[in-house]
Amino acid sequence: MKFVLAPDSFKESMTAKEAAAAMEAGIRKVFPEAECVLVPMADGGEGTVASLVEATNGRIIRTEVTGPLGKKVTTEYGLLGDGETAVLEVASASGIHLLRKEERDPLHTTSYGTGELIKEALGLNVKRILIGLGGSVTNDGGVGLLQALGVSFKDVQGKELPFGGGALDRLATIDADGLDPRIRSVHIEAICDVTNPLIGKNGASYVFGPQKGATEEQVKLLDENLTHYAKIVYETTGKDVAHAPGAGAAGGIGAALIAFLNAEFKQGVDTVIEYTHLTEKMKGADFIFTGEGSIDGQTLYGKTPYGIAVRAKALNIPVIAFAGRIGKDAWKLYEHGFTAMIGILKEASPLDQALKDGKQNLAEAVENICRIIQLTYKTP
């Protein structure tokens, strides 16, 4: 019997690789001789670098960059096995997990460190850079990222703007003459599952600002600042990023990539499926197991389990998804290739304990499902 194990990470509980290993452990309790193909997944957020590096036999490169509040942080990015493609995550340099809840302040957090990662990747003479846009703690429109690459953002007095989305209302001019010239020979691919515009009620500030620490008043201020920023970007480049799909990703980093780096946007899970050759690995499988921390109606909008289920449905392979939480409107997924969705919690417990027990709970949930399969599935 062949199982393809393709989970995303269960945030704050286990990486995608750890989740796949837990699934395998559960399967082997029931089917010790089963063929298990482990394909850790991601959709542009946490785990994207690890997934693509492992899938292509690439290498991880560790470095130090500027963190969200200006302090140095140790992080990493990847060089894929072709030697021509670098992959990095916004979250690793400018991520929400790098700050305690009380430290999160989108008026001052910066994406500068992500720009430094791009600059380091350029030093490898790559032809392509993949940038995962999930998990940022910034709302600066990607200004910090661009400053790290040599773009200047000045106020009416000719002073460079300080870090953070709170300063964008003072923006008067943008000078891109200093943009690192190496960027012109590199194809940038932005991978994410977000299509939000930069501004407005569905934009970066209103939708994502609160989870990054913004109060109701600050959300309004940040949106006004990004509106002003978009106006100056248009006057400088002729590109209208205010309502461009994906411009609001990662606190507006999407807008910076569109306006100044000519990035191509791709669904994160589609990119990871492509590089991991997952569709090919699915062929001949009896079951596909996937999952992530939370599954609900939003999973339809390009999340990992959805991308996998769509492809499995085309191959007529059953898909079972495991999650710590199965939320509102999850039933809609049954119309898109999901065979079953299984919550892994055994009992009511505090969140901290549930996260701590994630691997064990997942392994046991998989084991239980396999025991049902054992009773009903007839091997040839």
- Has residue 380 got a pLDDT over 60? no
Supply the pLDDT for residue 46: 79
- Residue range 218-224: mean pLDDT, rounded: 98
d(CA 366, CA 368): 5
One DSSP character per residue, 49-60 reads HHHHHHHHT-EE
- Residue range 364-375: mean pLDDT, rounded: 96
* Residue 261 structure tokens: 């780096």
- Has residue 289 got a pLDDT over 70? yes
pLDDT tens by residue, 86-107: 999 999 999 998 999 999 999 9
Residue in the structure block whose two tokens are 């946490």? 46
Supply the pLDDT for residue 378: 61
> Residue 303: which pLDDT band, with cuts at 50, 70 and 90?
confident
> Residue 254: which pLDDT band, with cuts at 50, 70 and 90?
very high
Residue in the structure block whose two tokens are 């599954």? 295
Going along the chain from its start, the domains and CATH numbers come out as 2-39+286-376 (3.40.50.10350), 48-268 (3.90.1510.10)
- Residue range 356-379: mean pLDDT, rounded: 90
Q: Which residues fall within 8 angstroms of residue 175, CB to CB, at 6 or more apart?
A: 151, 152, 154
Residues forming beta bridges with residue 341, ordered by sequence position: 321
Identify the weakest region by mean pLDDT among 44-48, 224-228, 288-292, 315-319.
44-48
* Residue 63 structure tokens: 């470095």
Question: Looking at this protein, which amino acid is placed at residue 365?
Answer: A
- Residue range 331-358: mean pLDDT, rounded: 91
Q: Which residues fall within 8 angstroms of residue 327, CB to CB, at 6 or more apart?
A: 294, 295, 296, 297
> Residue 192: which pLDDT band, with cuts at 50, 70 and 90?
confident
Give burial (CB, 10 Å; 0-12/13-18/19+) of 66: buried
- Has residue 20 got a pLDDT over 90? yes
d(CA 226, CA 255): 10
Supply the pLDDT for residue 299: 86
- Closest to 45 (Cα-Cα) out of 309, 330, 294: 294
> Residue 141: which pLDDT band, with cuts at 50, 70 and 90?
very high
- Has residue 250 got a pLDDT over 80? yes
> Residue 346: which pLDDT band, with cuts at 50, 70 and 90?
confident
The number of C-alpha atoms within 13 Å of 181 and in the hemisphere containing its C-beta is 1
Sequence-distant contacts of 143-146: CB under 8 A, at least 24 apart: 143/110, 143/111, 143/168, 143/229, 143/256, 144/94, 144/110, 144/111, 144/112, 144/113, 144/114, 144/115, 145/111, 145/112, 145/114, 145/115, 145/118, 145/253, 145/256, 146/115, 146/176, 146/179, 146/256, 146/260
152-154 and 128-132 beta bridge pairing: unpaired
pTM of the complete model: 0.85
> Residue 54: which pLDDT band, with cuts at 50, 70 and 90?
confident
End-to-end CA distance of the chain: 9
pLDDT tens by residue, 55-76: 899 999 999 999 999 999 999 9
- Has residue 231 got a pLDDT over 90? yes
The dihedral sign for the CA sequence 133, 137, 325, 28: positive
- Has residue 379 got a pLDDT over 80? no
Mean pLDDT of the chain: 94
> Residue 255: which pLDDT band, with cuts at 50, 70 and 90?
very high
Residues forming beta bridges with residue 46, ordered by sequence position: none
Q: To the nearest whole percent, how much of the chain has pLDDT over 70?
A: 99
- Closest to 137 (Cα-Cα) out of 78, 210, 73: 210
